[in-house]
Amino acid sequence: MVEELQVNQEQIIDALVYGLIFLLLTALGIILFFFYSRRKIVKKEIEKFNTKLEHQNKILQTTIKVQEEERYRIAQDLHDAISSKLNVVSLTTNVLLEDSKIKNIHREALDHILDITTQTLESTRKIAHKLLPPILDKFGLKVALKELFDEFTSNTNIKITSDIDTLGFLNKNSALHLFRITQELINNALIHGYATHLDINLKKTNDGFVLVFKDNGKGFDINNNSKKAGLGLQNINSRVSILKGNLKIESSSQTGSKFTINCKSYAL
Amino acid sequence: MDMLHDFFDYLCVVLIIVNAALFIYSYKENRRNLSYRLFCMYLIISVVINLFVIILGSYKINNLYFSHYYFILQFILLSLFYRTLFIKNQKQIVSAVLVTVVGILSIQYAYSPELYFKFNTTEVFLTCFPIVVYAMIHLYNSLNKSPKYLYINAGILIYLATSTLIFILGDYLSGSNTGAVNNIWLINKVLYATYLALILTEWWKNFRLIKNK
């Protein structure tokens, strides 16, 4: 009887041990399940976020592309449709003016027409230039940038020191993007940074180029700015990614801002 | 074998005192955190009950009735702890379960007060099982957000799930004193030490550095 009880007790304890092992494994299983599910969910969420970001970037890049195309079209139209017609007006007026028989009152009116036409032609030319610097097309990035710097230094009291290499391997579009980036950076430095001195270097490297832009302005908060990146900075970012480059920004109120754009995708 | 028992006995006592001390040490920085305050209280009560049990045990005085305080206070504090971590509907469920269980146990003790000096199986089940369920709900809630009290939760899940079974059979086990039974109690001690170590890990990972931030 006693033996039987003992056997019984041992059986129960055996069952208990297995029960314990079972519970322990179940608990561990639940924890592992949680761990792996969580990892999967987090991974999915990151993927989703990245896709969204990529999509946004694509939209921005397309916007910029379309914007450039439109600018090109408007510049062409201005040149072809308006400038040429205005030239005809100007020439015709000149022909009329050469006639000595016309009355003084008419001559004055014709002079006025000529004056306005010349002014309008000049404005049209300026607008077209702003939309698409023709010099970039004809003489390349280096000359276009020089002209840009001259434009800024002659109109404002900013000083620009620069060292620009000729980048023969850049196609027209890339050159235009680089030109626009520089333009935007100078504008930002002037308007937001109140800079008085700029140092701009564009250097050729083995597999691409490096653009280093330094100003002595009041700097800005990079972290704060990139969250709600200003339109200008966003534009620069998108253009840099179109160029498949890398943008590095350093900024402090003491030393001003420094932008480094490194592009390595032109391996020769 | 006895040495192993003693080792885990001491380890558990040291760990629980260290845990309570560390959580009290970081109390000031976390005093606005209700779940932290509740868990801190749980640790302090665990230390007090453990010390009473050890002291009474060393004088060979019956200390079994402390198990009731332990289980019921653990249930109340951990329920409130999980209640602070849960979302709206789940909070209501916790409150309902809390009231129901305390009600059932009050009625049970009112009708049979002699249970006070025994191991109460119903009490063990009613006070431990909901906590294990809460731990699982908490895991589920943490799936898509940064998890809070991950280590403590894992500890509660492992320790309470297994120890519940041991304590349910506690009355039966405390009756005999064979080697196999001793092994079961040893497993319980090892699991309790693991649980306490996980609480320590939680403090180390999530509450230690707040002071320096």
A108 & A176 share domain:
no
Nearest residue in A to B159, CA atom: A24
Give me the pLDDT at residue A29, please.
92
Q: How many other β-carbons are positioned within 10 Å of the β-carbon of residue B42? A: 21
A36 & A62 share domain:
yes
Dmax (CA) for chain A in angstroms is 149
Find the CB nearest B143 among A20, A30, A37.
Answer: A37
Q: What is the pLDDT of residues A113-148, one digit of tens each?
A: 999 999 999 999 888 888 888 788 788 888 888 988
A127 found inside a domain? yes
Nearest one of B152, B196, B205, B209 to B17, comparing CA atoms: B196
A183 found inside a domain? yes
**A159-164 and A208-215: which strand pairing?**
unpaired
Write out the two tokens for A222.
Answer: 């990079």
A165 & A110 share domain:
no
A118 & A144 share domain:
no
Q: What is the pLDDT of residues B93-127, one digit of tens each?
A: 999 999 999 999 999 999 988 888 877 888 889 99
The rounded mean pLDDT for chain A is 85
Give me the pLDDT at residue A226, please.
53
Q: Is B144 on the interface with A (CB under 8 A)?
A: yes
Contact predicate B134/B82, CB 8 Å: yes
**A208-215 and A245-252: which strand pairing?**
unpaired
Residue type, A25: L
Q: How many other β-carbons are positioned within 10 Å of the β-carbon of residue A133? A: 23
Contact predicate A198/A214, CB 8 Å: yes
Q: Is the pLDDT of residue B159 over 90?
A: yes
Helix (H, G, I), strand (E, B) or coil at A252: strand
Contact predicate A110/A90, CB 8 Å: no
A111 & A167 share domain:
no
Find the CB nearest B180 among A10, A19, A41.
Answer: A10
How far apart are alpha carbons A11 and B125 in whole angstroms? 23
| pTM for the full predicted model | 0.67
Contact predicate A212/A258, CB 8 Å: yes
Write out the two tokens for B137.
Answer: 């709900």
A38 found inside a domain? yes
Contact predicate A44/B144, CB 8 Å: no
Phi, psi at A211, each rounded to 5°? -110, 120
Domain limit, last residue, from A132, A152, A170: A132
Q: Is the pLDDT of residue A252 over 60?
A: yes
CB distance B162–A20 less than 8 Å? yes
Q: Is the pLDDT of residue B87 over 70?
A: yes
Q: Is the pLDDT of residue A228 over 60?
A: no
Q: Mutating which of A3, A9, A16, A17 best tests the B interface, going by the most B Cβ atoms within 10 A? A: A16
A7 & A122 share domain:
yes
Give me the pLDDT at residue A268, please.
46
Q: Mutating which of B132, B144, B168 best tests the A interface, going by the most A Cβ atoms within 10 A? A: B144
* Better-predicted residue by pLDDT, B130 or A61: B130
Q: Is the pLDDT of residue B45 over 50?
A: yes
Q: Is the pLDDT of residue B164 over 70?
A: yes
How far apart are alpha carbons B37 and B56 in whole angstroms? 29
The fraction of chain A above a pLDDT of 70, given in percent, is: 94
Cα A65 → chain centroid? 11
Q: Which CATH number covers residue A205?
A: 3.30.565.10
Write out the two tokens for A41.
Answer: 């969910």
Question: How many degrees, rounded to 5, is the angle at CA B124 between CA B95 and CA B97?
Answer: 15
SS (H, E, C) B116-166: HHCCCHHHHHHHHHHHHHHHHHHHHHHHHCCCCCHHHHHHHHHHHHHHHHH
Confidence at B73, pLDDT banded by 50, 70, 90: very high
Find the CB nearest A30 among B147, B157, B187.
Answer: B157
A144 & A117 share domain:
no
Domain limit, last residue, from A66, A97, A132: A132
Give me the pLDDT at residue B193, please.
93
DSSP state of B13: H
A110 & A222 share domain:
no
Residue type, A220: F
Q: What is the mean pLDDT of residues B13-26?
A: 91
DSSP E strand boundaries for chain A:
159-164, 197-205, 208-215, 245-252, 256-263
Q: Is the pLDDT of residue B156 over 90?
A: yes
CB distance B139–A10 less than 8 Å? no
A153 & A251 share domain:
yes
Give me the pLDDT at residue A2, please.
66
Total structural domains in chain A? Answer: 2
The fraction of chain B above a pLDDT of 90, given in percent, is: 44
A140 & A208 share domain:
yes
Give me the pLDDT at residue B14, please.
92
Domain limit, last residue, from A114, A132, A150: A132
The full set of domain ranges for chain B reads: 2-212
The rounded mean pLDDT for chain B is 87
Q: Is the pLDDT of residue A83 over 80?
A: yes
Shortest alpha-carbon distance between residue B188 and chain A (Å): 10
Give me the pLDDT at residue A158, please.
84
The fraction of chain A above a pLDDT of 90, given in percent, is: 18
**Total residue count of chain B as it appears in this document:** 213
Confidence at A19, pLDDT banded by 50, 70, 90: confident
Q: What is the pLDDT of residues A182-209, one digit of tens each?
A: 988 888 888 888 888 889 999 888 888 8
Confidence at B15, pLDDT banded by 50, 70, 90: very high
A268 found inside a domain? no
Give me the pLDDT at residue B212, please.
46
Contact predicate B133/B77, CB 8 Å: no
Find the CB nearest B157 among A14, A31, A37.
Answer: A31
CB distance A31–B158 less than 8 Å? yes
Confidence at B1, pLDDT banded by 50, 70, 90: low
How far apart are alpha carbons B21 and B44 in whole angstroms? 9
CA dist A257 → A11, A133, A188 (Å): 79, 27, 11
Nearest residue in B to A25, CA atom: B158
Phi, psi at A261, each rounded to 5°? -110, 120
B48-66 burial, b at 16+ Cβ within 10 Å, e below that, comes to ebbeebeeeeeeeeebbeb
DSSP E strand boundaries for A25-175:
159-164
Nearest residue in A to B169, CA atom: A16
Helix (H, G, I), strand (E, B) or coil at A262: strand
A242 & A151 share domain:
yes
Q: Which domain holds residue A88?
A: 1-132
Task: Classify domain B2-212 at the CATH class level.
Answer: mainly alpha
Give me the pLDDT at residue A122, please.
92
How far apart are alpha carbons A56 and A37 in whole angstroms? 29
Q: Is the pLDDT of residue B152 over 80?
A: yes
Q: Is the pLDDT of residue A221 over 90?
A: no
A168 & A43 share domain:
no
Q: Helix count (H) and strand count (E) of chain A?
A: 8, 5
Find the CB nearest B158 among A16, A24, A38.
Answer: A24
Confidence at B186, pLDDT banded by 50, 70, 90: confident
**Among A160-164, B176-180, B198-202, which is the least confidently predicted range?**
B176-180
First and final C-alpha spacing in chain B:
46
Give me the pLDDT at residue A266, please.
67
Locus of tokens 């885990």: B8
Give me the pLDDT at residue A222, please.
74
Strand-pairing partners, residue A198, are A160, A215
Strand-pairing partners, residue B17, are none
